[in-house]
Structure 1
Amino acid sequence: MCLFRSGQTDKERYSSPGFTTEADLDDEGGLWPTAYAVTELGERAEQTIAELVRKAVS
């Protein structure tokens, strides 16, 4: 599951998409980030988020 926090309602400086333990993001090393800070939502950030979401639900 992917969760999004806008940063506006909780007075943070950035938005952050996060992933629960159900997300299919494990790697061979057993370590993966559960959240990513988004300081600017440009084309590259959108592509990265879309790829992470696709991988998480696979």
Structure 2
Amino acid sequence: MKGTWGMPILLGVLSLGGLAAGIFGDGIWDWLCWIGLGVPVIVVTRHIWRQWRVARVY
């Protein structure tokens, strides 16, 4: 996905899928829930960390 909206849409779909997986059941659904909700958190945290590091240099 290229463009401005690619990553936000992908993170939104992952979050929605993770929330849905948490509702469906146990076992593999729990793993899908953790992945679906964890990946967006990791991506956003890395982005904020990079911005913070760059801001400290200046």
TM-score for the superposition, normalised by structure 1 = 0.35
Higher relative contact order (CA 8 A, sep 6+): 1
* Larger Cα-atom Rg: 2
TM-score for the superposition, normalised by structure 2 = 0.35
- Structure number having the greater helix percentage: 2
- Structure number having the greater strand percentage: 1
